[in-house]
Amino acid sequence: MTQKNYYRRARFLISAGKLSQLPEDRGFEVAFAGRSNAGKSSAINVLTGNQQLARTSKTPGRTQLINYFYLDESRRLVDLPGYGYAKVAKEVKQQWDALLDDYLRNRQSLKGLILLMDSRHPMKEFDVQLIRWCDTAHLPLHILLTKCDKLTKGAASNTLQGVKAQLRDLMPQASLQLFSALKKTGAEELIIMLDKWLEIAQNES
């Protein structure tokens, strides 16, 4: 099986509304987080080669639960609830925020966080908060600047450098890249990071 094809084995496992519903906390998992319109589901679908795996919607905020995808007996991908855009009741939003915080704070098998930001509108308030939290918790962070196909090459490069400069003050050890689900730009770079966090050896992938 080639490295690229490893993630094509991904299968939906479970949707959870509270930590007690999550799979056993062992092995390795990497979570995807971001604003509801940042393209989390699209990125997961590109990674796995399955456009139906993670639900996408033209109505931001559809991902209201923690969605788990099985890779093998010890490895999982996790799609976290979108934040910051969904038009939902305040009480529901508070529940989502509490669930996200509990998961990031307490999940022992979480090996890294992929934070997705629309490259046209990066570093919103909650993005910055999440970066600071990862820095404090010593949780590895990799940022995808999504929808870069909607920018000119020069504008995309300027955005990348601008966010990189901001990270020097927030979390200098974080990594980042440009990404486009439409053009599949940056997919190989993302796979390299996931292989590292999930400890996937070349003979496995």
- For the chain, the structural domain boundaries read 4-198
pLDDT score, position 197 = 97
**Ramachandran region, residue 47 (left: φ > 0; alpha: ψ -120 to 50; beta: rest):** alpha
Q: Do 28 and 74 contact (CB within 8 A), yes or no?
A: yes
Separation CA 100–CA 107 (nearest Å): 11
Higher-pLDDT residue of 113, 200: 113
Greatest mean pLDDT range, 94-98, 102-106, 122-126, 139-143:
139-143
Which segments of 107-151 does DSSP mark as H helices, in order?
Answer: 125-137
Q: Do 21 and 100 contact (CB within 8 A), yes or no?
A: no
pLDDT surpassing 80 at residue 111: yes
How many residues belong to the chain?
Answer: 205
pLDDT score, position 58 = 47
Of 202, 162, 156, the closest CA to residue 183 belongs to: 156
| 162-178 pLDDT tens trace | 999 999 999 999 999 99
pLDDT score, position 4 = 58
CATH number for the domain formed by residue range(s) 4-198: 3.40.50.300
pLDDT-wise least confident of 80-84, 147-151, 193-197: 80-84
- From residue 196, alpha-carbon distances to 8, 13, 151, 190 in Å are 17, 22, 29, 10
| 3-62 pLDDT tens trace | 557 999 999 999 988 889 999 999 999 999 998 889 998 999 999 998 888 765 444 444
Q: What is the pTM of this model?
A: 0.90
pLDDT score, position 87 = 59
Separation CA 94–CA 99 (nearest Å): 9
